[in-house]
Amino acid sequence: MDNPVKSVRVALVGSSGGHLAQLLALAPFWEQHDRFWVTFDTEDAISLLGGERTYWCYRPTNRNVPNLLRNTVLAWRILRRERPDLILSTGAAVAVPFFWVGRLLGARTVFIEVIDRIDDGTWTGRLVRPVASRILIQWPEQTRFYPRGELVGPLL
């Protein structure tokens, strides 16, 4: 019997470290789709994403306007070439240009707020919220700052 899940092209965008770990935890979803990754070229990311189609973005990203501009140009180039149906991210700041450019190009965008932010949302969450098709949260307490967030529970 054929796989009943429709394959879509997915962009998995996130910083290395914990953000990447949370995206990797979603393997039962993304492994059945045509996908590519956008992250930092750190040792952990290089090791964990061996064999995956990966684009390396500019870092640092937090409060770094030159790299925000570089990553916006990178997002434009990558997303025009790859044409993902869905952009999925757990943050951090590298998600911002990919979400805004992705929405301009017609992609659906799903942001997953990280597990360790219970008292307030991340800056990334605030910046992508206007263009996020869906916001997924890992704790019920996160509904205070994401009223339309959908609770999925902890990824890790």
User: How do the domains of the chain map onto residue ranges?
Assistant: 9-151
For 15, 42, 45, 124, 127, the CA distances from 56, given in Å and listed in that order, are: 10, 9, 10, 19, 21
pLDDT in tens, the chain (156 residues): 455 567 899 999 999 999 999 999 999 999 999 999 999 999 999 999 999 999 999 997 877 899 999 999 999 999 999 999 999 999 999 999 999 999 999 999 999 999 888 888 899 999 999 999 999 999 999 999 999 999 999 988
Query: What is d(CA 23, CA 127) in angstroms, rounded to the nearest whole number?
Result: 19
The model's pTM: 0.92
Class of domain 9-151: alpha beta
